[in-house]
Amino acid sequence: MRGAPLRVYAILYLLFLYAPITLLPLFAFNDATIIAFPLSGFTTHWFTDLVANAALRQAVGNSLFIAAMTAIFATLLGLCAARAGAMARFPGKGGIIGFVMLPLVLPEIIVAVSLLIVLRQVLGLNLNNWTVISAHVLICTPFSIAILNGAFQNLDPSIEEAAMDLGESRFSAFRLVTLPLVMPGIISSMLIAFTISLDEFIIAFFLTGANPTMPVYIWGLLRFPAQLPVVMALGTILVALSVTLLIIAELFRRRGLARAGIKDTGGFL
Amino acid sequence: MTALIELKGVEKHYGDYHALRGIDLEIRAGEFFSLLGPSGCGKTTLLRTIAGLEEVSSGSIRIDGRDMKGVAANHRPTNMVFQSYAVFPHLTVAENVGFGLRRDPRGKSEKARAVEEALDMVGLAGYGKRRAHALSGGQRQRVALARALILKPKVLLLDEPLSALDRLMREQMQLELIRLQRQVGITFILVTHDQEEALVMSDRIAVMFEGEIGQLADPETLYRRPATKRVAQFIGKMNFLPGALSADRREIDIAGLGRVATADLATSGEIDGAVSVGIRPETLAILFEGETAPRREVQGVVSEVVYYGDMTYYDVRVDGIDRPLTVSMKNLIGRPVLDVGAAARLAWDERALVLLPG
């Protein structure tokens, strides 16, 4: 068995990756405030506590709003950048695209601190959901560009010209031909941006005003051990949501490829 | 015949790069016209300026008497078949072909009939419901053709439409395009780098080099009387020999072949200064046992033999000529293939010579 050590390694790797996450639902349904084995029985009242907590509901609401706005704006910006990158020719294109992608590797804490300074000290703005949205758009746009780049690179640049040649204006050529072909990429990009924004902590921690986002609220809860199972319950919901969104995003990406008749060359899942 | 398309002094610059330099061109209605040239000669750029997909930097384009300045592609009476075919992969064949009819006021069933007719014309009857991305290259090509022709444009522009097909398919499509053009009577402008394709299909050909038209002529003139060495080299094969004109320009002394009267030579215009003489390989012949040259003969030695099956190409060294002459011979029954080093008598004819500048 030449592959045996590699197989063991792969299994251990997956275990290390996912075992902590499987603990979440375990303790979310465990009838005890203390997070420890042995388990003491099945309960769903952490979930009812969760729903009853008004402050938490407010935080989840904030997060969903921020994530939705971030998904829309990051994808719009990503769409423009990816289209320009794939179809337009202009001087300094490589450098400009590179700079747009930079936030992908910039440490988030740096982004958070500098944005806080700019928004508070330079612009004198009050912190609210929109300050978080602007920062999330900044970090999510590179992801959107990366996803949409794939969609545009699979696209024959002549097809928009062909539509114009057949009588459509520049805009309707985009709407009738390019848009349907990159639509799976757009949906995929929105879902990824939504997921990133939803569980982003550092930037949100620096830039939320009076109303914290969900991750920031959870961090606050951690000081109260009695609340820990509620956090576990929330975490369980979040994991389920994230996995669902990622799967949907990947399905759309694949459908897009199939629709355009292109072979699959990688992806998220 | 009046010109359908008139180009005057058309220039296209990308920064310092001049893709088109002062193109003057008239294309007649109903003509099968080709733009032929090596890659980067500006032929596709020229086609795209006619289509309205590129703005000209200066000069004017008129189609059917109307100045096209500021007229976008969607308002020009031209349609294009793209090199990649640019078939819309998310639509069916019928939706692709009917794409340009969106703004057509005709009713749904009439449009559907028009689509069926267009598909029938390109030999794709019954393919309407198929997904475009599931088609083969040749079929996509036909969809692109039907999609453009259904709009009955004044001009159909074809950008290297056959370059992605294999040889057999290409030859078949060449003949089909000729048939189609005769059938619809629309002016076709074909861009190609394949000289044979241009010769086979076109009424007239413009040979382009570096953004300029090198020669504009019908296929036979282009082949028999190329204007320059460059055109001659690009279209078919040709041997070039240096020549010296006599003072009265009535005679020319050709290296290795001797004196002939200039009146016998084909030329495409007045030629001054240095001259060369061009000879096509098929106008030379190696004489076998018992054969005599009908007009003139020169002695040489075979230096290279390339066997093509139906033909054999020989390189023959002749005294007084620095490069061997290429001769093509049909491999007729009973005719042997000579070996390198064999003595060869070459028959030539001054009427097949072309006088060229340079």
Rounded distance between C-alpha atoms, residue A43 and residue B179, angstroms: 80
Lowest mean pLDDT among A244-248, B27-31, B172-176: A244-248
What integer pLDDT is reported at residue A123 of this predicted model?
A: 84
What is the number of CB-based contacts under 8 A between chain A and chain B?
67
Of A159, A168, A170, the CB nearest to B86: A159
Tell if the CB–CB gap between B86 and A162 is shorter than 8 Å: yes
Tell if the CB–CB gap between B99 and A169 is shorter than 8 Å: no
- Residue owning tokens 């609220």: A217
* A28 has pLDDT over 60: yes
* B32 has pLDDT over 70: yes
Domain shared by B220 and B287, yes or no: no
All residues of chain B having their beta carbon less than 8 Å from the beta carbon of residue A168 are 74, 102
Of A164, A168, A259, the CB nearest to B89: A259
Domain shared by B322 and B249, yes or no: yes
Digit-coded pLDDT (tens) for B221-240: 999 999 999 999 999 899 99
The last residue of one of the domains, among B171, B201, B225, is: B225
What integer pLDDT is reported at residue A140 of this predicted model?
A: 92
Side-by-side strand order, sheet with B285-287? B285-287, B343-348, B296-307, B311-318, B325-330
Residue B336 falls within a domain, yes or no? yes
Tell whether A50 lies on the interface with B, counting CB pairs under 8 A. Answer: no
Confidence of residue A25 (pLDDT cuts 50, 70, 90): confident
All residues of chain A having their beta carbon less than 8 Å from the beta carbon of residue B51 are 165
Looking at every residue in chain A, the average pLDDT score rounds to 84
- Mean pLDDT for the stretch of residues A7-29: 87
CA distances from A1 to A4, A6, A190 (A): 6, 10, 45
CATH number reported for the structural domain that contains residue B41 in this entry? 3.40.50.300
All residues of chain B having their beta carbon less than 8 Å from the beta carbon of residue A159 are 86-89
Confidence of residue A269 (pLDDT cuts 50, 70, 90): very low
Domain shared by B333 and B196, yes or no: no
Digit-coded pLDDT (tens) for A62-96: 899 999 999 999 999 999 888 888 777 777 777 88
CA nearest A255 in B: which residue?
A: B90
Domain shared by B151 and B32, yes or no: yes
- Mean pLDDT for the stretch of residues B58-63: 93
Tell if the CB–CB gap between A166 and B74 is shorter than 8 Å: yes
- The residues, ordered by sequence, that sit 6+ positions from B59 with a Cβ below 8 Å of its Cβ are B7, B8, B9, B10, B11, B22, B23
All residues of chain B having their beta carbon less than 8 Å from the beta carbon of residue A156 are 84, 86
The last residue of one of the domains, among B225, B249, B267, is: B225
CATH number reported for the structural domain that contains residue B328 in this entry? 2.40.50.140
- SS3 call for B239: strand
Tell if the CB–CB gap between A167 and B148 is shorter than 8 Å: no
Domain shared by B299 and B253, yes or no: yes
Digit-coded pLDDT (tens) for B73-123: 999 999 999 998 999 988 999 999 999 998 888 888 899 999 999 999 888
What integer pLDDT is reported at residue A259 of this predicted model?
A: 64
Taking alpha carbons only, the member of B157, B149, B173 closest to residue B35 is: B157
Cα distance from N-terminal residue to C-terminal residue, chain A: 28
Residue B76 falls within a domain, yes or no? yes
The last residue of one of the domains, among B225, B255, B275, is: B225
Rounded distance between C-alpha atoms, residue B240 and residue B2, angstroms: 38
What integer pLDDT is reported at residue B261 of this predicted model?
A: 87
Domain shared by B209 and B315, yes or no: no
All residues of chain A having their beta carbon less than 8 Å from the beta carbon of residue B100 are 166-167
Does domain A58-260 match CATH 1.10.3720.10?
Answer: yes
Domain shared by B163 and B127, yes or no: yes
**Residue B83 distance to chain A (closest CA, Å):** 9
**Residue A189 distance to chain B (closest CA, Å):** 20
Number of domains observed in the structure of chain B: 2
* B304 has pLDDT over 90: yes
What integer pLDDT is reported at residue B220 of this predicted model?
A: 94
CA nearest B92 in A: which residue?
A: A259
Domain shared by B17 and B141, yes or no: yes
Q: Which of A166, A176, A252 to mutate to test the interface with B (most CBs of B within 10 A)?
A: A166
Of B74, B87, B148, the CB nearest to A169: B74
Tell if the CB–CB gap between B88 and A164 is shorter than 8 Å: no
Digit-coded pLDDT (tens) for A127-157: 778 888 988 999 899 999 988 988 888 788 8
Rounded distance between C-alpha atoms, residue B172 and residue B184, angstroms: 18
Tell if the CB–CB gap between B102 and A167 is shorter than 8 Å: yes
Domain shared by B202 and B348, yes or no: no
Digit-coded pLDDT (tens) for B313-354: 999 999 989 999 999 999 988 888 899 999 999 999 988 999
If one counts every other C-beta atom within 10 angstroms of the C-beta of residue B241, the result is: 21
Domain shared by B210 and B272, yes or no: no
Domain shared by B190 and B52, yes or no: yes
* A261 has pLDDT over 70: no
Residue B42 falls within a domain, yes or no? yes
Domain shared by B254 and B109, yes or no: no
Q: Which domain holds residue B305?
A: 237-357
Both tokens assigned to B127: 């393919």
If one counts every other C-beta atom within 10 angstroms of the C-beta of residue A136, the result is: 27
**Residue B97 distance to chain A (closest CA, Å):** 10
